[in-house]
Amino acid sequence: MKILVCISSVPDTTSKISFTDGDTKLNKAGVQYIIGPYDDYALARAVELKEKSGATITVLNVGEADAEPQIRKALAIGADDAIRVDVEPTDSYFVAEQIAAVAKEGNYDLILMGRETSDYNSGVVHGIVGEILGIPSFSPVMQLDIEGGVAKMTREIEGGKEILEAPLPLVLGCQEPIAEWKIPNMRGIMTARTKPLKVIPASGEALTATDKYSLPPAKGPCKMIPADEAEKLIELLHKEAKVL
């Protein structure tokens, strides 16, 4: 089985977000970058599937050179080789187009990624990739097993879950608890250094461009209500905040 795992390189979820250059660029100073948390689940499940029944894992990042530590980490966790499409990942369609181009070349049985990236949160790249390739896509997948060329999955739906199966090839957006995040061991880190990482140019054109970034307005002070007069809160929510 050939698995393609797509990873994003994003600021750590605890990062404080700020901007530079007249609010036209993300301020990367002091920001720790990580593999997208959902992508990390997809990678972990791919490694488990490889350990269980054998597979080769290619990790793919659409991004600039500063994503390479995250790609090396994915190789250390258990991917066999890596591809980086050397371009800024501006919009969902553009990124999906790059992934689909790589996928067409590689003929993968399974294309895994996170349900969304934690920076732009659109959650549509897997669907666009599936459509371009003409194969089904499902998201968010919480459980995944492969038996005889058929994927057995549990998918979260609004207010519940759905158990379904579909023949490979598939594109899946993953989320917990599909697998536990894996921490690379020393041997993995050593071998990752020499695993192949191919850098290729992008094709197509970006469909969006960001003009300017901004931060939400500062929140006003919090109005405190004494615990022994808790019922007053309901009156305030009704008369002052007008949400009840």
Nearest alpha-carbon partner for 38 in 103, 157, 125, 136: 125
What's the CA gap between 94 and 79, in Å, rounded? 24
Residue 244 binds to other proteins (criterion: CB under 8 A): yes
Residue 92 binds to other proteins (criterion: CB under 8 A): yes
Q: Please pick, from the candidates 25, 165, 185, 190, the single residue that binds other proteins as defined by CB under 8 A.
A: 165
Q: Are strands 2-6 and 56-62 parallel, antiparallel or unpaired?
A: parallel
Residue 99 Cβ, how far from other proteins at the closest point, in Å? 11
What's the CA gap between 174 and 190, in Å, rounded? 28
Altogether, the residues listed in the chain come to a count of 244
Residue 183 Cβ, how far from other proteins at the closest point, in Å? 17
Residue number, 29 or 209, with CB nearest to other proteins: 209
Residue number, 108 or 138, with CB nearest to other proteins: 138
Q: Please pick, from the candidates 87, 138, 169, 192, the single residue that binds other proteins as defined by CB under 8 A.
A: 138
Q: Please pick, from the candidates 51, 66, 162, 180, the single residue that binds other proteins as defined by CB under 8 A.
A: 162
Q: Please pick, from the candidates 31, 93, 101, 109, the single residue that binds other proteins as defined by CB under 8 A.
A: 93
Residue 211 binds to other proteins (criterion: CB under 8 A): yes
x/- contact string, 113-132, with other proteins (CB under 8 A)? -----xxxxxxxxxxxxxxx
Residue 180 binds to other proteins (criterion: CB under 8 A): no
* CB-based contact 195:80 (threshold 8 Å): yes
Residue 33 binds to other proteins (criterion: CB under 8 A): no
What's the CA gap between 207 and 177, in Å, rounded? 33
- Tokens standing for residue 78: 């258990």
- Tokens standing for residue 148: 């005889």
What's the CA gap between 57 and 109, in Å, rounded? 11
What's the CA gap between 4 and 43, in Å, rounded? 9
Residue 176 binds to other proteins (criterion: CB under 8 A): yes
Residue number, 37 or 188, with CB nearest to other proteins: 37
